[in-house]
A and B are shown apart, each in its own frame.
Chain A
Amino acid sequence: MSSDETHFSEMQTSEGVRPPYASYAAWFSEQDAARLEKKAAQSEAFFRRSGITFNVYGDSDAEERLIPFDLVPRILSSQEWTRLSRGIEQRVQGINAFLHDIYNRQEILRAGVVPTELIAQNDAFLPEMMDFTPPGGVYTHIVGTDIVRTGEDEFYVLEDNARTPSGVSYMLENRETMLQMFPELFSKIKVQPVSDYPKNLRRSLGACAPESCTGRPCVAVLTPGMYNSAYYEHSFLADQMGVELVEGHDLRVVDGYIAMRTTRGYRRIDVLYRRVDDEFLDPLTFNPSSMLGVPGIMDVYRAGNITIANAPGTGVADDKAIYSYMPDIVEFYTGEKAILKNVETHRCSDPEALNYVLDNLAELVVKEVHGSGGYGMLVGPAASKRELSEFAAKLKARPANYIAQPTLSLSTVPIFKKKGLAPRHVDLRPFVQVSPKGINITPGGLTRVALKAGSLVVNSSQGGGTKDTWVLED
């Protein structure tokens, strides 16, 4: 295995194989390369046949694409995980308290911890949510926290996805695939299971039902439809939870509730796990031309007759400008120092920071404040001169739209290649469920991996792949 000295390698350091990988490395060294190659091909066929695909916008000839799956797992020890998950839990508590505060008393603004204009000018801030507390006080029911590692004990949060984080279906299907391909591994190495996720999600969402709900809460998943990039995930989650997958036109307001059109008439829904963006949720309140949402749902919501997960307006917590304040936010609400670190972030809205960013563009990663999925970002070290100057122009035109961060020295985990193992950069998105009964974090998460040597871009829409993520039992 080739080793890249400048990055932390999670499997192998100069002193040898790191302990979490010891059993796996021993197993791997006994494997026949031809067999593994065959397994890699089998896994692809499995994903294709099962239809585990995503759609790429603006890509007409490849409507549905596979996310490449790499068969070498990413492994974390239970101690590493315990620390990580404590940090995530603390952060999610902070985010939830922040959202409640922002939409009610706004103490954090009065205390001067977060500047008022950052909220006032935030597109994701919804005045409709003011002076209203969602059922159970939960704003962000499902969170995906993107984490990168730069050293043995160095974990950073790259971003918080408090709106509608994607990828949990890959976490589950990657494990299923590994279990099918290498059952013997799992009898040798004890890995904490992830398969409870849908059951727990159903329970967690049910626990957030409004008080007006009597009996077993009726949960449904709201999808924009099958041309959405994450449609597979929406149908997968509904299926795994055993709840209906609905589109806007299946729903309407009936007697002050949201109801879905069934073969036997309209039936009330108590909790809607929506995978439709705020803007499209209610044409009467937001974008009037949207066909994806339900006219009148915001009135039903404010009347306390439905739970919307995640709550509208949660995006105010996860844009990248707020991100830079997150350690302060966590401390403000929890009274503890943030366990997880933030990446140093330059807010281009600040003229001094903008100058610094423009001067050092070639060394920085620049992101849109509201962007996601690797769209609209610049990776300075990988960009051409022309791309840099084009991006500089965009920055000057709308500085407040961007933040910049140093290019981190992301850790690597090897991927399987015909010639052997090759190190590639990874990140990690653990998934968190929040309800009044508590915060539940599935051990592991989705590891995304850059497939090109040296690349730091792991997004599936930009050609990245995924790996199974193992958290070992003690």
Chain B
Amino acid sequence: MLGKTAGGLYWMFRSLERAENTARLIEAGFRIALTRSTEAEGEWKSVIVTSAAQAAYEAKHDGYNSAQVTNFLLRDPDNPGSVLSSVKIARDNARLVRTALTTEVWSAVNETWMLLVDLLAKPVKETELPEVLAAIRHQCALVRGALTGTMLRKDSYHFCQLGIHIERTDSTARIIDVKYHALLPASSLVGGRLDNVQWETLLRSVSAHRAFRWAVEGDYTAPAIAEFLILDRRMPRSLSFCVAQIVASLGYLADDYGERVRTHELADALNARLEKRDIAAIFDEGLHEFLGSVIRDVAALGQQLEQDYRFNR
């Protein structure tokens, strides 16, 4: 397949995943704003920081409030990571690689774009926010469903999967990093007892609050939650799960093309850092340092992927 096509598929699904993650973040922020009005400003700020948009946001706005933040994250064209911008990028890439998509995947992403242009034509009222956020999640799931349900399992499919899981790794790492520290009164208290509601937001940001209860027998302790989000391979948004998926997709490409490239080495190295790890050891290393290095490694992996498979000129 064309390098450009591989790149288009990859960015299409990365952008969709970003749109969905942003919607989940807003949901978590909104939840806090509703239940804890005094902490809302800090929570909204951490949402902006997590989505790596602090500079762009502060260039336009003073202070953090629900209406401004949600508007910036949902529909601001100046924010390249806003849901609307991300879905536009996804749809433009889909048009670019239309020949590599099934009709169902194309229709799903085109419909998603049409629907969101409509839903986000004006600032979303607080009363409509839950519905709009649900629609975003629903639409992204629809496109992913069409992907897994209709696309041939060949290289094109795996470039889509790589887009999903590279973006998701980055997003989950950022959420844990920012929220974990934002939630703690002081870093010396890592491992201490935190308020249940705060922990719940962290889990809620990745839609894992109920999964956690089912999967983990025990309390909402910092190590238990960190372990769940970093190391639990059953959890589809954990770092460990996402990296394993990246390794699997790359493994397919190596078999199909009969060639291993540098991307494989980077992925294996990252995977090794998450395999058979003990959460206590990660805390010893320093959680923030650990997550920072994962974010950097994943970015390097993405760049290597583009180079090895000739996405660009």
Contact = CB atoms under 8 A, between A and B. Distances in A.
Contacts of B155: 263
Interface of B: 1-6, 92, 95-96, 98-99, 103, 106-107, 110-111, 114, 155, 257, 259, 309-310, 313
Interface in A218-266: 226, 231, 235-236, 238-239, 244-247, 249-250, 260-265
A288 interface: no
Interface string A26-54: 00000000000000000000001111000
B302 to A, nearest CB: 15
Nearest to A263: B309
Contact of A262 (B3, B95, B98, B107): B3
Interface of A: 48-51, 226, 231, 235-236, 238-239, 244-247, 249-250, 260-265
B111 A262 contact: no
Given A49-B110, A247-B4, A250-B3, A263 B95 contact: no
Interface residue SS majority, chain B: helix
6 contacts: A51-B110, A226-B96, A235-B98, A263-B6, A263-B310, A264-B259
Contacts of B95: 51, 226, 231, 235
A249 B98 contact: no
Contacts of A50: 103, 106-107, 110
Contacts of B310: 261-263, 265
A261 B4 contact: yes
A247 B6 CA distance: 14
A48 B115 CA distance: 12
Nearest to B257: A264
Contact of A263 (B98, B111, B114, B257): B257
B2 A49 contact: no
B92 to A, nearest CB: 7
Contact of B2 (A226, A231, A261): A261
Given A49-B107, A50-B107, A262-B1, A249 B99 contact: no
Contacts of B4: 246-247, 249-250, 261
Given A48-B114, A263-B6, 10 more contacts: A51-B98, A51-B110, A235-B95, A235-B98, A236-B98, A245-B98, A250-B3, A261-B310, A262-B310, A263-B1
Closest A-B pairs by Cβ, 7 of them: A239-B99, A235-B98, A263-B309, A261-B3, A238-B99, A263-B6, A245-B99
A260 B2 contact: yes
A48 B111 CA distance: 9
Nearest to B107: A49
A239 B98 CA distance: 8
A245 to B, nearest CB: 5
A48 B160 CA distance: 25
Given A250-B4, A263-B1, A49 B111 contact: yes
Among A48, A226, A249, A263: residue with most chain B CB under 10 A: A263
Contacts of A244: 1-2, 5, 99
Nearest to B94: A51
A245 B309 CA distance: 18
A238 B155 CA distance: 18
Nearest to B110: A51
Contacts of A245: 98-99
A263 B2 contact: yes
Contacts of A250: 2-4
